[in-house]
Amino acid sequence: MKLAFVDFVFEEREAIRLEGFEIEVHPPLRTPAELVAAAAGTDVLLMRDQFGQVTAEVLAACPRLKLIVTRSAGYDHIDLEAARARGIVVCNVPDYGAHMIAEHAFGLMLAVARNICRGHERYRRLQRFDDTGLGGVELYGKTLGVIGTGRIGRHSIRIGQGFGMAILAYDVAPDEALAAMLGFHYRPLDEVLANADFITLHVPLIPDTRHLIDAEALARVKPGAILVNTSRGGVVDTLALKEALVAGRLRGAGLDVLEDERTAYHDFGQAHVVITPHLGWYTQEARDRILQISLQNVRAWMAGEPVNRVA
């Protein structure tokens, strides 16, 4: 059988060990034509979520394809309905260490709250060891709003409590047993937005969460709050966020994800925004875990017992 390993950037070739496959390795593939060229003659496609889109048209051009494994938790880059219609199994890597994304969220939170990047850039570019205008705000004693209390959200709750923060959370399916165990409270989204000094987003991008944080939601946010997004760019309406920042509604934002992050540049002007290029997941340990779970997905499918299946 043939396997195309695409969007190969982070892994080591010698770590790919699969018996019974002829394996091709490709760099990041962004256009449909590039993806089809790599996948059309293969049985299995292993890809990432940061580059190409597996549309119905791509699938139609790959009649031999039987399995897609995305080396990510997110799978909104794959047309699942079209895959099901063609009998193609789709698997993901649902949990490769949610803690590191929560850690990154707090890195962004601190960078904004304490003007870390501004101070660094002042010294590096202007050669000024000067704290004028760089007074920050503390996390201790503040309220953290956690939107989404899945694996990543739960780590954020624990970290926030370690900073001495009170926790308000919103989730479409509240886990009251978890709330009792960890000592936080679920509230409606509007109430969380209105009372949180810091807001961190940990929801998947699905139709119900696209632009969850829009102009209407931002109008309800507590003045001076800091927003952090390490989930998916489409959860936040970028134009509405820019307007809220310019208007001074938000103190700042920390963003590891953006809408159209690979194809568009979003100019936030002089607003206090710290942006990292989708680094929340990217640690050496996580990279290795993702690869091994992806390979396990292929082996389980070969054995006739697919795991981590999303379609």
Q: Kindly name the residue from 232, 251, 272, 287 that is annotated as catalytic.
A: 232
Please give the Cα distance from 108 to 100 (Å, whole number): 12
Please give the Cα distance from 245 to 122 (Å, whole number): 21
Rg (CA), the chain: 21
Q: Kindly name the residue from 48, 261, 272, 287 that is annotated as catalytic.
A: 261
Q: Kindly name the residue from 71, 122, 251, 278 that is annotated as catalytic.
A: 278
Q: Is 120 one of the annotated active-site residues of the chain? A: no
Count Cβ atoms below 10 Å from residue 304 Cβ, excluding itself. 6
- Cβ atoms of 273 and 301 within 8 Å: the answer is no
Count of residues for the chain?
311
Burial status of residue 179 (CB atoms within 10 A of its CB: 0-12, 13-18, 19 or more) = middle
Q: Which residues contact 5 (CB under 8 A, 6 or more apart)?
A: 16, 23, 24, 25, 26, 46
Q: Is 220 one of the annotated active-site residues of the chain? A: no
Q: Is 232 one of the annotated active-site residues of the chain? A: yes
Please give the Cα distance from 118 to 124 (Å, whole number): 10
Active site members:
232, 261, 278
